Amino acid sequence: MNISKEITIVGGGLAGLTAAIHLSKIGLKVMLIEKNEYPKHKVCGEYVSNEILPYLNWLSLDISELNSTQISKLDFSTVDGQMIHCDLPLGGFGVSRYAFDYFLCKKAVQNGCKIIQDNVEDIVYKKDIFTVTTSNGKIINSRIVIGAFGKRSNIDLKLKRKFALKKSHWLAVKAHYSGNFPNDLVGLHNFEGGYCGVSKVENDAINICYLTTYTSFKKHKNIDEFQNQVVAKNPHLRSVFETSKMIFDSPLTISQVSFDKKAVVENHILMIGDTAGLIHPLCGNGMAMAIHSAKIVCELINKFYKNEVKSRDELEKMYKNEWKRNFKKRIRIGRLLAFLLQNSNVSIALMKIMITFPILLPFIIKQTHGKSIVIKD
């Protein structure tokens, strides 16, 4: 058997591409397999927390090339339109996934990573070696596999991951619009059965992305009707829809978005990004977590290759612990917030408390975000 010294990364979203760039920067060989072509639009709120900027700098990624927007303010409203405004503690930037993922892909290729466009069908671990099989009949053997295949993939079913065997009732819709919206603002507005993020990305486009339950959505014939009758009941969202025009031919949708707990290491595959766990999008922290988890796993893999981490068992234990230490609390708080906001009486009561104590909203935001990543070189 020809065992490649390369590390195999399955999935080339933000997590997989960041891991590829990191590992190649420290001199390790990488093969990344991504089923889709770049560039491609993805359903996402497209607000990235600034906490990852020091790490992106360390990876020699100059995000000024993306012409992203600088976002420092938040408008938050309840279903009935009561609104509170605050400065974001760390702030963030607005960039489309179309541009961001492609930017990282080009950097990974420049660093010498092999990127293959193919669909991974199976990952089998036997006698300390992985065999990765693709739809085009490619068979790759390697010692380390990083799972970066996103929220829900065919591989989750192959691995019989618990969350994938259960139906999830969340779906999401996103499109870009032209119109007037401040560059430095992210709007997070609740509506009956969901919440919607509005912010600007590059090229003056407004990204509108919402998450809702299948139960709310199925009462309506189509997206237009749902938006008019449910989403736009929130007066702030109504005003955004009335003053903007969709640039996409039609909105993008995804279904079966699961926020259930996931195993961080499964079948010895080191999971990163959404494959390890997804935070509620209302926190606006999923992308930063995806990128940060890539950093954590790459640093440990480096130690494993240098024999500072002595065994696979130790590598897996250390990764699980570091992942939990960094992300478990944020995910839990995100879950609790989403649950509370689903109940309109509770969310109105919460809003009253936040209006009385304005310090509370930035405090809650801090609980769902990380601190600026510290780079020790």
Ligand X SMILES: Cc1cc2nc3c(=O)[nH]c(=O)nc-3n(C[C@H](O)[C@H](O)[C@H](O)COP(=O)(O)OP(=O)(O)OC[C@H]3O[C@@H](n4cnc5c(N)ncnc54)[C@H](O)[C@@H]3O)c2cc1C
Q: Which residues bind ligand X (CB under 6 A)?
A: 10-16, 33-36, 42-48, 119-120, 148-151, 153-155, 172, 197, 209, 211, 257, 273-275, 278, 281, 284-288, 290
The closest of 77, 59, 311 to 196, measured between CA atoms, is 77
Question: How many Cβ atoms sit within 10 Å of the Cβ of residue 295?
Answer: 21
How near is the Cβ of 308 to ligand X at its closest, in Å?
27
Tokens of 55: 């790490």
How near is the Cβ of 187 to ligand X at its closest, in Å?
11
How near is the Cβ of 313 to ligand X at its closest, in Å?
25
Q: Considering the complex, state which of residue 348 and residue 367 has its C-beta at the smaller distance from ligand X.
A: 367
Classify burial at 150, counting beta carbons within 10 Å of its beta carbon; exposed 0-12, middle 13-18, buried 19 or more.
buried
Q: Considering the complex, state which of residue 252 and residue 348 has its C-beta at the smaller distance from ligand X.
A: 252
Q: Considering the complex, state which of residue 32 and residue 309 has its C-beta at the smaller distance from ligand X.
A: 32
How near is the Cβ of 367 to ligand X at its closest, in Å?
15
How near is the Cβ of 27 to ligand X at its closest, in Å?
23
How near is the Cβ of 65 to ligand X at its closest, in Å?
20
How near is the Cβ of 14 to ligand X at its closest, in Å?
4
Question: Checking DSSP bridges between strand 7-10 and strand 30-34, what pairing results, if any?
Answer: parallel
Tokens of 354: 């936040």
Q: Considering the complex, state which of residue 278 and residue 301 has its C-beta at the smaller distance from ligand X.
A: 278
**Cα–Cα dist 149/151, whole Å:** 7
How near is the Cβ of 40 to ligand X at its closest, in Å?
8
Q: Considering the complex, state which of residue 274 and residue 316 has its C-beta at the smaller distance from ligand X.
A: 274
Helix H segments across the chain? 14-25, 53-58, 97-110, 154-158, 162-165, 214-217, 223-229, 235-242, 286-305, 312-342, 344-356, 360-367
Nearby residues of 197 by Cβ (< 8 Å), 6 or more positions away: 45, 47, 186, 187, 188, 207, 208, 209, 210, 281, 282, 284
**Cα–Cα dist 233/217, whole Å:** 14
183 three-state secondary structure = coil
How near is the Cβ of 375 to ligand X at its closest, in Å?
20
Give the CA dihedral 134, 137, 143, 148, nearest 10 degrees: -10
Classify burial at 114, counting beta carbons within 10 Å of its beta carbon; exposed 0-12, middle 13-18, buried 19 or more.
middle
Q: Considering the complex, state which of residue 190 and residue 309 has its C-beta at the smaller distance from ligand X.
A: 190
CB-based contact 31:9 (threshold 8 Å): yes
Which whole-number Å values give the CA distances from 16 to 7, 8, 13, 98, 150, in the listed order?
Answer: 11, 10, 5, 15, 9
Q: Considering the complex, state which of residue 61 and residue 309 has its C-beta at the smaller distance from ligand X.
A: 61
CB-based contact 375:54 (threshold 8 Å): yes
Number of residues that make up the chain: 377
Q: Considering the complex, state which of residue 246 and residue 348 has its C-beta at the smaller distance from ligand X.
A: 246
CB-based contact 244:206 (threshold 8 Å): yes
Which whole-number Å values give the CA distances from 319 to 19, 128, 354, in the listed order?
Answer: 14, 18, 37
Q: Considering the complex, state which of residue 280 and residue 309 has its C-beta at the smaller distance from ligand X.
A: 280
How near is the Cβ of 171 to ligand X at its closest, in Å?
9
Q: Considering the complex, state which of residue 138 and residue 320 has its C-beta at the smaller distance from ligand X.
A: 138
